[in-house]
Amino acid sequence: MIADGTIVNADINASAAIDKTKISGTAITAGDTGTVTSTMIADGTIVNADVNASAAIAGTKIAPDFGSHTIILVFRKRIGRYDYRR
């Protein structure tokens, strides 16, 4: 008999085909797609370097913090039939 907690990763052959049902918790394998959920990611652990440069993140998902960027606003004031820009 094998005592609980005595088998370590090095004891298992690299070619062993261990069924997912034998693993406690949620097992994610290289063949899985779309299986990581937000509950599996701890808050505050994703950083800018983790996000792909081509990611199309919706503006509604971004907090209004523009860092050191200069924001320029253009207002129009209509007087009669003329449009003046300031």
What pLDDT score was predicted for residue 74? 77
Nearest to 17 by CA among 6, 32, 25, 29: 29
Contact 35, 28 (CB under 8 A): yes
DSSP state of 59: G
Residue 26's contacts (CB-CB under 8 Å, 6 or more residues apart) are 40
> What is the share, in percent, of the chain residues with pLDDT greater than 70?
84
pTM score, whole prediction = 0.36
pLDDT at 85: 60
pLDDT for the residue 54: 92
Mean pLDDT score of the chain = 80
pLDDT in tens, 54-82: 998 887 777 776 667 777 777 776 666 66
